[in-house]
Structure formats: C-alpha cells, structure tokens
Structure 1
Amino acid sequence: MVVFVGAGSGAEDLITVRGQRYLREADIIVYAGSLVNPRLLEEKKEGCAVYNSAFMTLEEVLEVMTEGERSGKRVVRLHTGDPCLYGAIREQMDALEAAGIAYEVCPGVSSFCGAAAALGAEYTLPGISQSVVITRMAGRTPVPEAESIRSFAGHQATMVIFLSTGMLPALQEELLAGGYPGDTPAAIVYKATWPDEKVCRCTVDSLAHTAEHEGIKKTALIVVGRVLEGEYQRSALYHPSFSTEFRQASKGGRDE
C-alpha cells in the first residue's frame, strides 16, 4: 500500500502520531522537499530510500511508488501540511487506482491552522465571521473566474490566501476592488510553526509594503478579516442562559 501522509505545518513535532508511525515503517519515502521540514526524515529507519519530489515529475514519482509497492515495499508520499489543500494528490491517487494499487491518506495539520496559532486568532468569531475562505491568486495555475479574490472579497468573510506572497501588489488591489476597506486587519505569516516563523500584522492597504519591508517573498500565508481585531460577541454555547443537550440553562434561557 502507498500512504499519503500530511507532514504538518512545519514544526517536526506537529506531524500526527499515525503519520510518524508510517514514516518509521516506510521502506521508501517520497517527500515534497521544497516545503516539508527535512528534520522529519530523521524518523526514517535504516535502509529507507528517500526521494525529493521537488526534482521529479509526476511520472517519475509514480514510477517510484508503483515499483516500490509491487516489490512489497512500504511507500510513504510525504506532503506538506494536509495533502487535501494544494497537494496535487488527486492525480496521483487516480494513477494508482488505474494501476490497481491500494492507497491510504493520513491527514496532517494544515499551515492555515498553524497561522491561526501564530496569530492567536480564531477564524470564526461570533458576530464577526462564521466562514473561512481558503483560496489563492491565479498564477501559472489558473483560478476559476467565479472564485476570484475579488469575488470572494465581497463576502467580507475571513480569508486565508495561499501561494500568493509573490503577487502581493495585485492581491492587495483585488482585495480592495472586491470590497474590503483599506483598514481591514490583515497579517502575513511567514513559515508558520517553523523555528524562523515571522508574523507581520498590517492592513489590507499595506500588505504589499509590509512584505517588501520585511523581505518576505514566499512561504507565507495571507490572513484577512475583522477576526484579527479585538471585538466579537460571546459564544452562546457556553452562556449560562443557553441550554444544550448536556446542560440546562438558567431561568429564562434558550434551548438548542
């Protein structure tokens, strides 16, 4: 079996217990070397073959995985964060299915979760935002027109923007054109949970300047939204006047 493992957001101890076990058992590891923390490879056993997919094509990756699995080897495909986000795993899974090879996916901690931790933020604050838009700017990989930054900005929801640090002037322009006021809180989180993590708080209209001033050109997430401010409503779930299946509200409370 081939196992796709989410490496986590950066810090080597943020891989899941299951993912760590798979790494320790692997005979072959194919890892996304441009983003995965190489210290995770210290978990490998003696004799494990390691391949860096940053220097490989899809066809070369598939060849290593299929030949390894057919030779009775345990194969781990190690992706950054959680492989369900911008991991390009669907094409790998489809190819494995076509070849009759079984696979499994082991989830990981996404970098957008790591960014929230770095910011001390909750993306879904009552009365402020109850939705999170995870998206990216169009680059060499196109984005459907209906999912443009400008169209999402009109919702005023919390936005976490991947793979766009090198296009911040254009991103800033699209956010403003879509309806975010210039003073909307924003943040650039560089290498969330890594030892050299850096958090730069700013506003939408100063995103590009902030990145330039801090020398950040890649490997960062952009977070936008009023959840980065201080005001919000208290959660009703834990309010004394709010009844739940497990707790009765005080007199005059509500049921749910």
Structure 2
Amino acid sequence: MVHFVGAGCGAVDLITVRGQKLLSEADIVVYAGSLVNPDLLKYTKENCQTFNSARMTLEQVMDVLIKGSKDGKNVVRLHTGDPSIYGAIREQMDCLNKENIEYEICPGVSSLFGAAAALKAEYTLPGVSQTVIITRMAGFTPVPLKEQIASLASHQATMVIFLSTGLLGELKEELQNGGYKPFTPCAIVYKASWDDEQVVRGMVADLPEMAVRNNITKTALIVVGEFLGDDYELSKLYDSSFSTGYREAFKG
C-alpha cells in the first residue's frame, strides 16, 4: 500500500491526525523537500528510509514507491498542502495502477486555507463573492487558453493564485485586463503558517512592488478580491428573520 499524504501548509501541527499516524508507521517516506517542513520527518520511526523528491525524477520516485510496496513496506508519499492541488499525483497513481499496487490519499490543509487564516479573512463573503477561483499563471506548465488569468478575472470573484510570484508584472496586467480595477485589494502571503510567514497587503496595481519591497520571490500565494475590503452583507444563516431547517424565523 502506498499512502499519498498531505503534509499541510507548513506548521508541523497542521498535518492531520491520520497523516501523522501514517508517517509514524511508514518504512519509506518520499517527501517534497522543496516545500514540506522537514520537521515532519521527526514523526517517522528510527529505521524509516527517507527520500527527498526535489532531487528526483518521476521515474526515480516511482521506482522507490513500487519497489517498497512490492517488498511489503509501508510507503508514504508526502506532498505539501493537500495533494489534490498542484500535487502532480495523477501521473503517480496511474503508474501504480499499471503495477496493480493499491494506494490511498490522506487529505491535508492546503496553503489556500493557510493564507486565509494568515489574513484573518473569509473568501466567500455574502454580497461580495461566493466563488473562489484557484489558478496559476502559465510558466513551465502551460495553462489552457480558456483559463487565462484575464478570462477568469472577468468573473470578479475571489482569486487565489498559486506558483506565480515570479510573474507579478504579467499577473498585474492580466488581472487588470480582465476587469479588476487597479485599486482592487490584494495580498501576498509568503509561507503561510511557517515560522517566517509574511503577509503583505496592497492593491492590484502595486503587486510587483509589494513583492520587491519585501524581498518575496517564491513560496507565496497571491489573493485578489473585494473580500479583503470592509463592505459585505450579513449571512442569512443567523439572520433572525430567516427560517432554516433548524430554526424558525423570529416573528416578534
């Protein structure tokens, strides 16, 4: 059995209870060393073999996972955040399927949510935005034409942009071309939940300068939208004049 485990967004205690248990039982751990907090490896047992996938190709990673599983070992593939978001796990699962090797996925706390916590913000404010768009700028990995930033920005929804800190000039132009005003609030969240977490707030027009002034070049999320402002409507869920399946509206 191979377990794909979400390591969480940085802080060691943000791994799930299940994820920590799987780490403690593992005979082999292949971890994403470029982003996973190395202190998580302290949860492993003394004789556990560890491999840093930042220095490995897909073929090398799969050799370790497949051989370990066929040798009857407990194998953990430790991904940053939640494996389902930019985790490149589909290609690994397909390789395991070809070898008839069973696997499971243990979800994790994505930096998407670590960033919201750092900002003390709610992505889905009533009357502001009820949609969160998770995306990235095109880089080494291209983005489908229908998912260009300008096209997505036209919705004026909350946007969380991964893997784009080195492209903030282009990102600013794309956001504005899509309809975001230059003064739309935004933030750069560097290493959400890590000890050296950094939160920089500003406006879309200032995105590149925000990063330069704070020496942020990678490992950050860009969040954009009016959810970072002060105007919103109260939720109907707790409105005394609104009935729910658990509570009648107040008629006094």
| Same fold per superposition (TM over 0.5) | yes
The equivalent of 2:63 in structure 1 is 63
Partners of 1:237 and 1:245 in 2: CA distance: 10
Return the offset for 1:50: 0.2
The equivalent of 2:159 in structure 1 is 159
Unpaired runs of at least 5, structure 1: none
The equivalent of 1:250 in structure 2 is 250
Q: Map residues 27-176 of structure 1 onto 2, 5 A cutoff.
A: 27-176=27-176
Return the offset for 1:230: 1.0
Return the offset for 1:231: 1.1
Return the offset for 1:216: 0.4
Partners of 1:239 and 1:98 in 2: CA distance: 53
Q: Helix, strand or coil: the match of 2:86?
A: coil
The equivalent of 2:16 in structure 1 is 16
Return the offset for 1:251: 1.7
Q: Helix, strand or coil: the match of 1:88?
A: coil
Q: 1:94 is matched by which residue type in structure 2? A: D
Partners of 2:15 and 2:76 in 1: CA distance: 14
Q: 2:119 is matched by which residue type in structure 1? A: L
CA RMSD between the two structures: 0.7
Q: 2:59 is matched by which residue type in structure 1? A: E
Q: Deviations over 1:162-201 (max 9, x none)?
A: 0000000010111011110000000000000000000000
Partners of 2:81 and 2:230 in 1: CA distance: 28
Q: 2:149 is matched by which residue type in structure 1? A: I
Partners of 1:17 and 1:121 in 2: CA distance: 25
Q: Deviations over 1:14-66 (max 9, x none)?
A: 00000000000000000000000000000000100000000000000000001
Partners of 2:231 and 2:26 in 1: CA distance: 48
Partners of 2:161 and 2:67 in 1: CA distance: 37
Q: 1:241 is matched by which residue type in structure 2? A: S
Partners of 2:151 and 2:97 in 1: CA distance: 36
The equivalent of 1:211 in structure 2 is 211
Residue identity over aligned pairs, in percent, reads 65
Q: Helix, strand or coil: the match of 1:117?
A: helix
Partners of 2:218 and 2:245 in 1: CA distance: 46
Partners of 1:154 and 1:72 in 2: CA distance: 51
Q: 2:75 is matched by which residue type in structure 1? A: V
Unpaired runs of at least 5, structure 2: none
Q: 2:33 is matched by which residue type in structure 1? A: G
Q: 2:169 is matched by which residue type in structure 1? A: P
Q: Deviations over 1:116-146 (max 9, x none)?
A: 0000000000000000000000011000000
Return the offset for 1:221: 0.1
Partners of 1:250 and 1:42 in 2: CA distance: 54
Q: Deviations over 1:146-168 (max 9, x none)?
A: 00101011100000000000000
Q: 1:210 is matched by which residue type in structure 2? A: M
Q: Deviations over 1:211-238 (max 9, x none)?
A: 0111100000000000000110000011
Which segments of structure 1 move beyond 3 Å, counting only runs of 4 or more?
none
Partners of 2:70 and 2:99 in 1: CA distance: 10
Return the offset for 1:250: 1.0
Partners of 1:155 and 1:245 in 2: CA distance: 31
Partners of 1:72 and 1:175 in 2: CA distance: 50
Q: Deviations over 1:92-133 (max 9, x none)?
A: 001101100000000000001000000000000000000000
